[in-house]
Structure 1
Amino acid sequence: MALLGYARVSTSHQKLTMQISELKSAGVRDDRIFTDMMSGATDAREGLQRLLARAEKDDVILCTKMDRMGRNTADMIHIVDACYKKGIAIRFLENGLSTEGTMGKMVIQILAAVAEAERERILERTNDGRVIAMAAGVKFGRKPHSKSVIALQFIHQK
């Protein structure tokens, strides 16, 4: 049995340091930590793909939080099922949940669905706020440069 770790941040501006530190504290060796620095919304997560290819029967994958591993419910279910079929367990450090056992697998799938619903609610509220702001006359985007405005005025005068 090997302990493997997975850490992901959404942008290159964020740091993996905290997640890696937590994984090491949980007993994962440096050479067994796989990382990605990209949005979870993309399929091309090379670190996750390398981790899943490396993991073998009876290995345990540690991840700090559920939202670091899966992009949505369907993705989480796919990852959990693929690991479950290979005899690989997944444990989440934040809440202590594990796919070990039938109930653990079910609980993780339910929580992944709840997390996805919460992300969708946040998007809805953000979009609603944007619509209200636009109706109130708020302008979005960059402010025009003064030289650009002058150039446009000059062009329109001709």
Structure 2
Amino acid sequence: MRLFGYARVSTSQQSLDIQLKALKNAGVKPSRIFSDQASGRNADREGLNLLRLKVEHGDLILVKKLDRLGRDTADMVQLIKEFDQMGVAVKFLDDCISTEGTMGEMVVTILSAVAQAERRRILERTNEGRLEAKAKGVQFGRKRSVDRNKVFALKSQGLGATAIAKQLGIGRSTVYHVLNNP
């Protein structure tokens, strides 16, 4: 039986270090650890796809947490079935859960459904907070960096969009956007 590891973070601002350390401490060789910096909603990830190619019957894949393998229940179940058909087990270190045996598969299926429900709750709370902030007048997005008054002043002097763009060091499309959205 060979040990493999899989680690994933959702964004480049997050660090894989804790997961990688846990996998190494569990006995996984660094050359057998595969990782991704991608959302767990999609099972088509480079590191995961490479892992799929490397594992063979009798191997064990270690993952620090259930939600690191994926968030979508259907994808999680499909991945676990795929590995099971290959004779490969998956063990989640923090949850002390393994897909070995009937009970393991059942528990993982339930937990992946819980992870998906949690993701939906997070999105709902985020959207509710965003709507509440908008109702209070909070504006989202980047702060305006173009002096709109200068654009209108130059336009009133008879300059065209190209000349305004050159003088202010901005794109012509930005000039048009400002002029069309006073």
Match of 1:128 in 2: 128
Question: How many pairs does the alignment contain?
Answer: 157
Which sections of structure 2, spanning at least 5 residues, go unmatched?
158-182
Match of 1:10 in 2: 10
Match of 2:51 in 1: 51
- Greater RCO between the two (CA within 8 Å, min separation 6)? 1
* Shift of residue 20, structure 1, vs aligned partner: 1.0
1:117-140: per-residue Cα shift (whole Å, max 9, x none)? 111011011111111111121111
- The equivalences for 1:114-125 within 5 A come to 114-125=114-125
Which sections of structure 1, spanning at least 5 residues, go unmatched?
none
TM-score, normalised on structure 1? 0.91
Higher Cα Rg: structure 1 or 2?
2
SS of the equivalent of 2:91 reads strand
Identity %: 51
Q: CA distance change for structure 1 residues 141 and 105 in 2, over 3 Å: closer, same or farther? A: same
Distance in 1, Cα, partners of 2:34 & 2:2 = 13
Distance in 1, Cα, partners of 2:90 & 2:116 = 19
* Shift of residue 42, structure 1, vs aligned partner: 3.7
Look up the equivalent residue of 1:149 and give its one-letter code.
R
8 Å CA contact 2:2–2:60 kept in 1: the answer is yes
1:101-129: per-residue Cα shift (whole Å, max 9, x none)? 10110110111001101110110111111
Q: After the TM superposition, which of the residue ranges 131-140 and 36-45 deviates more from structure 2?
A: 36-45
TM-score, normalised on structure 2? 0.80
- The equivalences for 1:72-87 within 5 A come to 72-87=72-87
Q: After the TM superposition, which of the residue ranges 39-48 and 25-34 deviates more from structure 2?
A: 39-48
Distance in 1, Cα, partners of 2:122 & 2:154 = 43
